[in-house]
Structure 1
Amino acid sequence: MAQKTCFVVIGFGKKTDFESGRTLDLDKSYHNLIKPAVEAAGLTCVRADEIVHSGLIDVPMYEQLFSADVVVADLSTSNKNAFYELGIRHALKPYTTIVISEDGAKSFPFDVNHVAIRKYHHLGEDIGYSEVQRFQKLLTESIKDILNKDPRDKDSPVYTFLNNLNPPGLGEAIKTMIKQATDSITIASNESEASLVTGGTTHSLLMQQVDKAEQEGDFLTAKTLLGSIRTMMEPPKDQLGQLSQPEDPYIIQRLALLTYKSEHPTQEKSLQKALSLLQILNPQTSNDTETLGLWGAVNKRLYGLTKDVSFLTQAIRAYRRGFNLRNDYYNGINLAYLFNVRAAITTSRVEAIADFVQAQRYRREVLEACEQWLQDNPTPTNQNPKASIGHKKNLYWVLATKAEAYIGIGDTETGEQLLKQAYAIAPLNWMRTSTEDQIKKLQPLLSNSPLRYVQAD
């Protein structure tokens, strides 16, 4: 008997929840929580990026929404595609649909309030070990329960409220269309299956290669591979040659990051290309803190190369907007640094003093944000090595940021102590180098303080 299947409706990569301002890594939700739980229930698990296909992904995606024995729909970050696909599933099937979401979601559309939603807790970059165990067990038991019940409970509001509605069959014409489209389609859960069956490469497998190249510091290869993924995922064009829908922000964000890190063919040209990519996401008006952080980083580097003040102005606007939206230490510490940079180059003493004082104020807010992060993210116990490394990376940046903030407000002793703690756990050498470079540039800006113009009472 063929193994039952579960299709997972979920975004991939890092997505911003605009309601809370948090950014969640949905790949961690899928790989750490959902897929292990589904497989523990005895089902084959797949999401759209694991389908090897020719032509549009829409056909196999719709086929999965119709024929999968179970569909798990993750509505975290209020993903529009997830809501749409959940609606299709509810219209097609009266039962065997499970809806889940990260527990930071404050509200759902009225129509979804009638649906049971199972919640899990996401830390943003990763998911705690105890939460992984809890939710995997919950989801596995839920899948087994809905498959073992006879008769099955209706979980689709469509069939709940329209009692006499019969679910559609897969008509012969549709069957023929799907067979033609899926002759070259194989759902592959691992690389060996994909290469053996089709000789093709899924989006998921390509993304693994991107991750590997980036971890090895081969940013040019990572950028090239991600460019291929972008081409695979490009929406169709309308009659005017314009894309029929926006591209996925995660792909554009990450491609911009890899582009400027590649420094190919030159550092300045790679930064200009990254700037062009980010323009697709409308950074001047965006509320996406990932986009704003990248926009700030690229403009900050372009100012460092060219000394063009317009880049400095754009970087300050981006970091300030990002910090105000999310109160995160990354945007905040960079904003404070750039206020010091601007204070050092302005010809107005009043403006210089104002910027210098602003930098100090933001650093104090950054310290509060760092303390909050430490409270919310205690060092995990009994966690797998990969998750432990992820926590250590985040902890490094929090400690390094605290160190820079203390140095910036004049408490050098505390700052140096925190630097020692950060350097002791730095997983990668470049992380320490990045911190050292920033503080090295900051120190002369602090020693040449415009506050010397202020007369003491």
Structure 2
Amino acid sequence: MKRPLLFVIMPFGVRPLIDGTDHDFDAFYSQVLRPVALNADFDVLRVDEIDQVGTITNQAFKQLYAADIVVADVSAPNSNVYYELGVRQALSSGATILVAERGADLPFDIASQRVLLYDRDFLNDTAFRDRFRNALAVNKAPMSNPVQDALKDIGVAPDPQKDQAAFEREFASKIARATRDEQLVAVWHWAKQFQNLPVSGLLSLANGLARVEDYKTAAGVLGAAYPVAEEDYEVHRQRGFYLRKFGDYDGGLRELNRALELNPHDPQTLGMLGGTVKRQHKYAEALNYYERAVRLAPSSLYLRVAHAGMVMLAYPDESHRARELYEALNTDVENSEYLVGDYWADLVATECNFVLGNFDRAYERAADAIKNGAHPADAQSSAEQIRMLGEVGVHNEQAVAIAEWLVLAARSDGKNVSAPRLASAGDLSSQHLIFHISDTHFGTLGEPGNARQMHRYLDDENSQRLSLELRDEFRRVLTQEGCDPKDSTIVLSGDSVYSGTLEEFKLVADFLAELCDETGIGRDQVVIVPGNHDIDWDVAKADLKKRFDNYLSFVHQFYGENLFRKIYPLITWNFQVSSARPEPSEIVSLQQRGPITFVGLNSCVFEDHQHHYGYVGLKQLKRVAELLPDANSGEVMAAVMHHHLLPYPEPLMPARKAQDVMLDMSTVRDAGIVEQRLSRLGFSLVLHGHKHKPQLRETAVRQRAEGSAFAGRSLIVSGCGSTGVSEQELEHNQSNHFAVIKLLRNRREAGADFVRVDWREMAVQLGAEWAPAGRWVVKG
């Protein structure tokens, strides 16, 4: 489910209290309420932070109605706060927490309610933080308030304890009136305050949420049906489907298998099981489920088309078997007068005609599906199947074009669906995703027996290894974005280990191998560059030329001989002890990933046991320029390096004097020339690590006599923070981070949305989970 929402109502800025003293409400919010709630796994919002279009009053009312918890600061006699508090308690039986500065004069109407008091010196009031944290945990359960109690007493608000039938009618009418996603979510926030919710209503509400593709909340809704519905196979089946849709395959399989136990002959459950294991690339197992389902329901269009597709995916060398199934199915659909106007039949016919090579007819049936009311989720499911068929060699180029057009047309509410065409790479939204991780720091510091782990994610009772953490996150994003794993890239921008030893690199190799295997992302889809901790400083003392040996041995083993030579075209070293090592400027990688050319730079040219700073050098940049014309590069080029080009804001330390240095000194020392040359070569993206906190910046260098088509455009410089370092290595209460970068267009065009950058973070605390930390869309 989505993280619970905490909405804060309070005065803004510095306001006088009744005793004449001033109180900084913004500081109390930003430095006390917000961080405590975020650490308790809440999304936190104040009305001045809402960035949606609309009137402030309506936006506030939506939050007052839908928020899981509302916090009201009643320290000052503020009419807006009292008004919004009354609205909250009249609209919702959700939890409301009142807070006030100690000594505040509370009105009679709210004095009888529990109020959490905080000291005037609230920054040092740790007791209040503890009370507030406990209140957040307790008040996740339903609670009463005097307004709701009064409304129930006079019969205005439904009370399931007194009149279950009236409550169920009210519940059903609210679901029927809700058409948009925020309305459906609001109904759920209202309903979940009550106990023993009707199963039929929960199924209806979950179905509505699934229609707007909020599968996570839909799964949460059906979770509330237990234990009453523990023996209801339909609840288990639908919940399993929703869990699978947002990437929780393990949870989905548990629910679907339970549904099959309760009803072993349900073809729909068998079909959903087939769809789930298909997305795990277990094609033979999926085919078994579909064959069983088709035997039970031989006339089901959904099962027949899924079965035909799975025959093609499981046995691509025997495609004639699948074509026979598609031909029979297409004949039945095209000749049935009963299926005219059925959008699902249109989608089935789209897939059949695509496989059979009737592309014009496939587009016609796709357009019919949209006109006849196909929902985006249905179009996405059909498009996903067509993409998978393309990946095993079935009309690959047309598969991409038809699938993307189908999704775009469904999401445009049927507009401009009358003229489908094969689309070029430049005018369709891209589906390419970059999972950017950095600074995993596998390894230890200190002597054996007294060594300290420099990597955070260890398998124990309270945590799991990083490969499993990221597996779950990557799967969720791929499912949410409708992106095949083959259309994604993992970027590891250095400091994968801590001391540069072979033993540490073995841990990284195991981490990447498991992550790739679990997500379906190939090793050729991983971009790796060295960081300062990937250099063996002990070896550097003895022989400077051998300091990259362990790193190069690691990437050579990870990619394999043939792929390594393709990715590192400048390295000729045969990995024999006595042979000459490559120069640092030759450790340049080149990988074409869909529409993006990734160039991995070595920013550790001078890194050794004495010199710890970033440097790239003109020699390396010249070699990159010579490689690019032969790279068959796409429209978008991304440079990956470890050190950062642009400085980070440095914190002002209390004891720092005016003459003390306040500049970030850990940037690439030749950043100016690197920035200039990358811009001249036409790069759009620079991805880096090194700093243990994220940053997103744009930078442009104006140059004389520029001949590049990208002249005058900015470099988008994205640092993803540190993904795996231990708490001791994080500065200023930072979290661990990684970034998800989606290429929105295959071609960079001025004024058009180009890339979207999402930060994900995990706080350093027991039980923390990955959570969104920011999202930006950058134009070309």
Higher relative contact order (CA 8 A, sep 6+): 1
How high is the TM-score relative to the length of structure 2? 0.21
Query: Higher strand fraction: Structure 1 or Structure 2?
Result: 2
| Structure with higher helix content | 1
Max Rg structure:
2
